[in-house]
Amino acid sequence: MLKLSNITKTFNKGTVNEKRALTGVNLELADGDFVTVIGGNGAGKSTLLNMIAGVYPLDSGVIELGGVDVSRLSEPARAKYLGRVFQDPMRGTAADMWIEENLALAKRRGQRRGLAWGISAEEKEEYPKLLASLGLGLETRMRSKVGLLSGGQRQALTLLMATLTNPQLLLLDEHTAALDPKTAAKVLKLTEEIVSERHLTTLMVTHNMADAIRLGNRLIMMHEGNIIFDVAGEEKKSLTVPDLLQKFEEASGGELTNDRMLLS
Amino acid sequence: MLTAMLGAVSQGILWGIMVLGVFITYKLLDIPDLTVDGSFATGGAVAAVLVVAGVDPVIAILAAMLAGAACGAVTGFLTTVFEIPAILAGILTQISLWSINLRIMGKSNTPLLANETVFSRMAELTGLPTNVVAIIVGAVVALALIAALYWFFGTEIGCALRATGDNEAMIRALGVNTGTTKMVALTLSNALVGLSGGLICESQKYADIGMGTGAIVIGLAAIVIGEVLARILPKGWTSGFAARLTSALVGSIVYFLIRAIVLQMGMDANDMKLLSAIIVALALCVPVVWERYRLRASYSKGGEGRA
């Protein structure tokens, strides 16, 4: 499904701020894999997702999606393969546009946009039903501006938008980190439901180790720009948070894990 | 007095077409596009030169529109391909247009005194005074444009364009090349500006190298006035897209009415630009000051309940 071969990325090359964000990452995802990604701040988790999405050009390496080499494609050109949800709830939706307009924009992900009406009559009937499945009461507010919704509602809507066209790969970049615990749990539950229902191949970055263990069928841990631990199946299910912390200390040479990882 | 007011309304409508162009870049794309000062004069210069050369005045106006579009495309090119900040790209195009406009006209102004214009032709056909003809022609063109823009911004491309101004990261993630949408918006916007310049040139019967100076500020002032007026009406009437466009047009008419009134009261015409700038600055300051005041007023030492 997704195949990363020797992905490297260095920011601000040749300056004092040089940052080797990814140092030759290799990763292969099978169809339907739900992989959680953990690691300290600056480990390269978000950069990895951004490289797959084409936000920055690659320094070297090859990215294949469903057998297609997308390494040199621009961000908009890769969009048809990818659904993305960001950490910031403001980033995934257009605040000044209606809920139904946002959904219609997402429905046309990666398609050629022409002079047909921006939202069809069938879509106007279909979207309230879809929104009703979220259980947020948004189905009656199709013509509300998205900016009026709460962070959690916006994030749930973004998730729905990201998965509307059943993308080949779903990229979730700490998509619950900016939400309060109750809302985060709700959005996470929704994520689980959508991913399993539609059998979506998913990469989910999280700071919450318990979530990382509980969700998905595979877990990878990143440190200093590479994958240092990759576990799947039964072995993953039997992991505990202390196991992970220990793994992290081993791999990083006893370096203290950062507070945010410890707390979560 | 009535003639002056009629003149102001006709000017307001014809300039209002430029305001619609500014609306696209400033309100939808969130870019104050400074190309406008240049492309407005380009529209006027092109129309004037063609009319003097004996070209049909309607075709001259269409050519003015195309010339405006080309100006916008240059700014779009600079800002999307070479990533020059939009404001600077607009300034560069605007400055270069000054020289280009002089080249087009060959001198700093071109009178059309003896030539037939769209307005003189209509006046002859209908027997109405030129002011009234200008209002009718302007209103027909402006309303047709509002209808066309309403349609365009409801299409898939139009929606992508609005989303570009709203949340660029999001719409890129949804597969839209935002360079293209910005290019389309700047081109379309300046096409309207050029069209407006051509119409103004034919209605006032001359084109002048300085006719576009301060156009962007007039555009912003008109939009602001329109928004303030829209607040008086019930929200349901004014929140739609067509209503927002119409309010920009009405804002332009009101702007030129205010202008005519203060000029009648004896204000120096050269002070008008200062007044426009003050109107825009005030409109931009008031919400900020109001918000600050509101935050300060909502503070109470005793905490909630005692406020």
HEC readout, chain A = CEEEEEEEEEECCCCCCCEEEEEEEEEEECCCCEEEEEECCCCCHHHHHHHHHCCCCCCEEEEEECCEECCCCCHHHHHHHEEEECCCCCCCCCCCCEHHHHHHHHHCCCCCCCCCECCCHHHHHHHHHHHHCCCCCHHHCCCCEHHHCCHHHHHHHHHHHHHCCCCCEEEEECCCCCCCHHHHHHHHHHHHHHHHHHCCEEEEECCCHHHHHHCCCEEEEEECCEEEEEEEHHHHHCCCHHHHHHHHHHHCCCCCCCHHHHHC
Average pLDDT over chain B reads 92
pLDDT in tens, B4-40: 899 999 999 999 999 999 999 999 999 999 999 999 9
For residue B72, the cross-strand partners are none
Q: B178 touching A, CB under 8 A?
A: yes
Residue with tokens 């005045």: B57
Q: Is the pLDDT of residue B43 over 90?
A: yes
Hey, what CATH class is B2-269 in? mainly alpha
Query: Nearest-CA residue of chain A relative to B162?
Result: A97
CA distance B267 to B247: 27
Q: Is the pLDDT of residue B306 over 50?
A: no
CATH number of the domain encompassing residue A167? 3.40.50.300
Q: Name the minimum distance, in Å, from the CA of B20 to any CA of chain A.
A: 19
Q: Is the pLDDT of residue A192 over 70?
A: yes
Q: Which domain holds residue A247?
A: 2-263
Backbone dihedral region of B175: left (phi > 0), alpha (psi from -120 to 50 degrees) or beta? left
Contact B104, B194 (CB under 8 A): no
Contact B79, B32 (CB under 8 A): no
Instruction: Tokens for A112, please give them.
Output: 């050629």
Report pLDDT for B271: 85
| Identity of the residue in B159, B174, B176 whose CB atom sits nearest the CB atom of A118 | B159
Domain count for chain A: 1
Question: What percent of chain A has pLDDT above 70?
Answer: 95
Report pLDDT for A264: 46
pLDDT in tens, B209-256: 999 999 999 999 999 999 988 888 887 777 789 999 999 999 999 999
For residue B110, what is the enclosing H or E element? strand B109-111
Residue type present at position A4: L
Backbone dihedral region of A82: left (phi > 0), alpha (psi from -120 to 50 degrees) or beta? beta
Cβ <8 Å between A115 and B175: no
Query: Nearest-CA residue of chain A relative to B178?
Result: A76
Residue with tokens 């600077």: B88
Residue A79: list chain B partners with CB under 8 A.
172-176
pTM score above 0.95: no
Confidence label for B88 from pLDDT (cuts 50, 70 and 90): very high
pLDDT in tens, A194-230: 999 999 999 999 989 999 999 999 999 999 899 988 9
Q: Name the minimum distance, in Å, from the CA of A86 to any CA of chain B.
A: 9
Residues of A engaging B, defined by a Cβ cutoff of 8 Å = 53, 74-77, 79-80, 82, 84, 86, 90-97, 101, 104-106, 108-111, 113-119, 161
Residue A84: list chain B partners with CB under 8 A.
173
Any residues with CB less than 8 A from the CB of A129 and at least 6 apart, and which?
A139
Query: Nearest-CA residue of chain A relative to B176?
Result: A76
pLDDT in tens, B92-121: 999 999 999 999 999 999 999 889 999 999
